[in-house]
Structure 1
Amino acid sequence: MAALLLASRPASRQRLQVLGISAPPGSGKSTLAASMVALAGQQGLRAATLSLDDVYLPAAQRQRLASQVHPLLATRGPPGSHDLALALATIAALRQGRPCALPRFDKLADDRLPPQHWPRAPAQLDLLVVEGWMLAAGAQHRQALMTPINALEREHDPDRRWRQWCNQRLAQDYPALWQQLDWWCFLQPPGWEIVLDWRAEQEARLAASQQRAGMSRAALEHFLAHFERIGRHALATLPCQAALCIELDAQRRASGMTWNGFTPPGRSPAC
């Protein structure tokens, strides 16, 4: 799949190409991005990855949002939990050809790593692969926010304050980042229901690699409830917006693909 994505990127006169991979949690996008970087290196390209997961706001800033706006904002992941200024500044530095430290986030500690532990991208980078679970997603219509989508929203957001705030952030703040993408693809799972299984497998691998306890399945289910609204919205809208949509089977293998051309991220053409 990495070879297909590299080969399908459009010709560009820009020195740096920014390619995006959008897919639900646990779908393998980080592994795919790393494979693309490795393959690009074999082709003589200087390449690096940047994940939306690596530009989450530090825990202290999310706690302030939880106190000032809504308690659910303490949880990383939904719109409004990212440091968009950091992401944009990083991409700007790379486009200018400057060496740059790439932010990294420790998911098990639920906090950003100190800058001295960030890897450095080389000067004059040729390819940046940006990946994220809500990459290129647009905001929902206000009417769609009226009905709770799960127990988390019913019990912890009965007045819709959290989901409206997140939706507003998605409408106003994220398009500036989405517009940095020169090309992007969407990995489409069989349905949202499989995301919990995939994310549980990912959590087990992460915990084993770092020799620390990860989240239980029950904790993961609660965690993913914060993602469900935008995740389902992405599944309904992004397949026909991405330049390339790759359908995944239950084992995360490509089972089909659709070429759409390029639609500016955040727009919602009729599928």
Structure 2
Amino acid sequence: MPNGEYLRYVALGDSQTEGLGDGDDTVGLRGFADRLAEHLAAGGSEILYANLAVRGRLAGQVRAEQLGPALALRPDLATVVAGVNDVLRPRFDAAEVTGHLEEMFAALTRTGAHVVTLTFPDVSRIVPLARPVRPRLLDLNDRIRAAAGRHGVTVVETGRSAVATDPRLWGADRLHASPLGHERIAAATAHTIGLPGSDDAWSLPLPPQTVPTGWRTAGAELRWAAAFLGPWLGRRLRARSSGDGRTAKRPQLLPMTVLSPSAEDRGQRELS
């Protein structure tokens, strides 16, 4: 489909696509998928947009719960982003996860939709305690690229961009992108699929900043572990998910409007 002529966009995935880290459950979540829909709407055509993503979902759950509804919406553009929740689980089967992703790639591309996916940055650069999962993540990225190649799926290589591991692109929990991070992911996607007005500015580094060292670093790690790692481990031990009882925030195709930049967005862009 020619650049800028996508009219029906459907997003499938987990918390990243739902938009955690960009707004909250009180004021509403935005996220990279909403921001990409705004890029599409900026072209002047009426864009219909649905977001089926639910936080905490594993790749198999995304396939089981979201693929059917997505196909029923007949998108001409679809983003499929899942797998990180699987990587973080003790039992991880890379082939199984990739199989779920590939089934979604195949089913959506068969309908004529342009399907887009992402690779994931090295989380151990953001969360040092996550170093043991680094080989899993790199393997999953390679498998995603291979599966995407078999089905003509476009891969947005956020996993290879150095700026993707800048702490300022991540929220306080270090698991979800900050508003600036979501903005960069949306801009990377827009550039990769060739939307008018997009460019590679998303990949540029942020201005240098002073990095804490010594006891300040240790104290920050302890505070993060208490505030975020502990509750996350508690949910795993209880076999609970942050997405339990939740449904998609935007299950139907609805017109997308372009939001005027918020003060927060303007401030975040000044950093970039």
TM-score per shorter chain, which class? 0.3 to 0.5
The TM-score with structure 1 as length reference comes to 0.36
Which one has the bigger helix percentage? 2
The TM-score with structure 2 as length reference comes to 0.36
